[in-house]
Homo-oligomer: A and B are copies of this chain.
Amino acid sequence: MSSNDQGATRRRRGSEQVTLKQVAQAAGVSAITASRALNTPERVNETTRARVLDAVETLGYVPNLVAGSLASARSRFIAVIVPSLANAVFIEVIRGLQETFEARGYQILLGNTDYDLDREYQLVRTFLGWSCSALVTAGLRHNQACHTLLANWDKPIVEVMELGEALDINVGLDHLDAGRCMARHLRSRHYQEIVYVGARMSQDYRAEMRYAGHREILAEDGLDAPLIELDQLGSLEAGATGLDNVLAAYPRAEAIHFANDDLAAGALLHARRRGLAVPGDIAIAGFNGLPLGQHITPRLTTIQSPRDAMGRLAAREVLRKLDGEPGALQQHDVGFSLLQGEST
């Protein structure tokens, strides 16, 4: 008589949660068999499986995924990090990711950096702590700590939106070249005084790259490439302000190259309100190829980027890696195309 009746098992919380053990007991099998019946059904006899599923139904069992993840050291989470939810572009990429991943039983874990790389690092730390199966982030730039952390992580990482030196998989397009493409188009229309307008460009370095491409082409012809930066997020409203600012600062401007379609469309609609002819008085171009631009009159000249395709492609590459299939290319250029409207 000694270490026998140690006392009642102290229940930590109320915890009336139905556990796998109870399901197993009800089905007359061991816990591991119940686990297999739910997770790897092909490894369990059909009748056994039916009994387990029955018990699940009867008891109203909801698997504790936290426990499962801890035991197996993996979750079915995909971390997705974007700089903003206010921008339709990221929404469409997220949608592409979401469609593909949810169909395969993965959950999206969404983080928003607000264009702050330190915030990105925090999010990455948190997400790694959740044993995510993969991580998708917008852009190639990270702070030092974040870079180190990711470089030592052994699961698939996708950097989307732009191309360059990537950690793992890279899906995007060449923004420098996109900027050049539009600038060439504007030059081909013989515009000389061309102003570039961006919103919060110090944060949005992809817009900066497009501007760099734009400037490069104008420089080839010995032209200046004046820049106007708006201190607000891209929106129709901001585009209207942008137009006003350009006309005030550069009265002789013939064309405006906007960093994105929200701005361009806002300017275009505002031009009409002001009684300005587009492109007669001022030509307007954008970037992204949002539907809006193609529904207004005149249709917006812009650059079409395959955004949801980018998401889907990123997701497909991740799934391929997770399935252990031979990884194809690591870098995928999704390209872009000039969408010529009547606004230039």
Contact = CB atoms under 8 A, between A and B. Distances in A.
B70 A98 contact: no
A63 interface: yes
A69 to B, nearest CB: 5
A75 B66 contact: yes
Interface in A83-122: 85-86, 91, 94-95, 98, 102, 107-112
Contact of A129 (B62, B70, B126): B62
A17 to B, nearest CB: 8
Interface string A155-188: 0000000000000000000000000000000000
Contacts of A297: 269, 272-273
A182 B69 CA distance: 51
A308 to B, nearest CB: 10
A125 B18 CA distance: 13
Interface string A109-145: 1111000000000000110111100000000000000
Contacts of A129: 62-66
B73 A70 contact: no
Contacts of A94: 85
A62 B149 contact: yes
A237 interface: yes
Contact of A70 (B66, B112, B130, B236): B66
A15 B110 contact: no
Interface stretch (A206-214, A288-296, A316-324): A288-296
A230 to B, nearest CB: 16
B62 A128 contact: yes
A31 to B, nearest CB: 16
A13 interface: yes
Contacts of A15: 73
Contact of A130 (B65, B125, B236, B240): B65
B240 A266 contact: no
B295 A131 contact: no
A3 to B, nearest CB: 14
A155 to B, nearest CB: 13
A247 to B, nearest CB: 18
A106 to B, nearest CB: 11
Nearest to A94: B85
Nearest to A154: B14
**3 A-B pairs with least C-beta separation:** A65-B129, A236-B295, A269-B295
26 contacts: A12-B73, A13-B73, A15-B73, A60-B149, A63-B129, A64-B70, A64-B129, A64-B131, A65-B130, A66-B66, A66-B69, A66-B70, A70-B70, A85-B91, A85-B94, A85-B98, A86-B95, A98-B112, A102-B111, A107-B111, A108-B109, A240-B295, A269-B295, A269-B296, A270-B295, A273-B297
Given A91-B91, A108-B109, A108-B110, 9 more contacts: A62-B128, A65-B129, A85-B95, A85-B98, A107-B126, A109-B110, A236-B291, A240-B295, A270-B295
